[in-house]
Structure 1
């Protein structure tokens, strides 16, 4: 998809427990692009505008299924992709109601304006400073330990084992996940393991390298979260699976 320009910036170390990345997507074509967004375990705050749509701010919750989307012609999108701790400690409210959906935010949310779309690096600096100002003075060490273990293992963890390591019962963990994010810890970890397989799938490695018991489980997981087989993902017909079209920049 040569008409799509993609760029990604990593956050400062101070923000890495809360922010996955900052990124931009620019459709330089005069035609809209229909794409499929795959579940990747992130919560996204978007700033966007196009030749056919006015400036808007959008917050998208976790996706647990593939979602078809249209990228407007001559459009620019800047985004902040958040990790789960940001829900409680940066936004300060649950996002269970945003599972597989999004909401339009009021103009001026967090002080973001259309002018912020003029320069990506300036946007990243402004966003970083803003998020840094929202960092909590204190956090629940059990929760942060849990999240760190989940992300370090790319979802390849079992709730019973990790609950003992962080001294937090599996029942309480799942209650927290469902209340805050709208899905269980296992369902979220399945998404992270799926996301971790993107590079190997793009390279044509259709057998699981790690995180899956065998090829049967791997194929089943991919079909559930992508709606297609690993082979179709690798082929990426018409570049419709956007994370595969932009993977070289990740």
Structure 2
């Protein structure tokens, strides 16, 4: 399999984590997708033909997937702020699931399976244009997601105090738009931040966890397995921990 990412520049970084490409060869593969605090738009090509366009919800538990041979994915990994300001909808209705989109969505049908760079460049330019015409954004939300994704502030109470937005109002916003509480989202992002360390063999908790039992419990809660099993990553089961070319 092959995997690569292209990261956005400038203000778009508030909405998009990366554009990513994935390819299987002549063998079907199975992966387990782990919760990471993002959602994705994915265009799937089988044998060079576009066969599916879908939007994922937020994953709060591991998801087993089977990917056919000779398959390519063009995808965009979005930060949660994109739901409100780019998609202008909620995503709670597809929590831990996906919804199909028309091939015409964002003119995805025009791209050939060997045009990932063109896809990333043109969609990036279109998104940059669309956010320039947004109405005045809520600065509290920009700060909130910056704190969360950068792991600068760890608790709901701290975030609430920093951005002058009550915890109750923040959680109502999260439940309405995303279907989860901010506390659970913080836990998912914290868990995701450990994947690289675990893949490199560090099975000891960082300062974000009380102790080793708490670390193991939280990792198992969101991945279904222990840190040791994640590190072993047999047959590249866990895509986020795989060492890909």
Q: TM-score range by the shorter chain?
A: over 0.9
Q: What SS does structure 2 have at the residue aligned with 1:55?
A: strand
Which runs of 5 or more structure 1 residues have no equivalent in the other structure? none
Equivalent residue for 1:10? 7
| Residues 117 and 123, structure 1, Cα contact 8 Å, conserved in 2 | no
TM-score in terms of structure 2 length? 0.94
Q: What SS does structure 1 have at the residue aligned with 2:14?
A: coil
| Residues 43 and 50, structure 2, Cα contact 8 Å, conserved in 1 | no
Is the counterpart of residue 179 in structure 1 residue 167 in structure 2? no
Q: What SS does structure 2 have at the residue aligned with 1:206?
A: coil
Is the counterpart of residue 77 in structure 1 residue 67 in structure 2? no
Distance in 2, matches of 1:57 and 1:80, equals: 11
Equivalent residue for 1:35? 31
Q: What SS does structure 2 have at the residue aligned with 1:7?
A: strand
Equivalent residue for 1:153? 151
Please state how far the C-alpha of 1:97 moved relative to its aligned partner: 0.7
Distance in 1, matches of 2:89 and 2:109, equals: 23
Q: How many residues align?
A: 243
Q: Residues 21-74 of structure 1, C-alpha deviation per residue, up to 9 Å, x if partnerless? A: 01100001x221111001111110001111398522110011000000011110
Structure 2 matches for 1:162-201, cutoff 5 A? 162-201=159-198
Q: Residues 218-250 of structure 1, C-alpha deviation per residue, up to 9 Å, x if partnerless? A: 10111001100000000001111111114x67x
Distance in 1, matches of 2:231 and 2:142, equals: 35
Which runs of 5 or more structure 2 residues have no equivalent in the other structure? none
1:221 is aligned, of 213, 218, 221, to 218
TM-score in terms of structure 1 length? 0.93
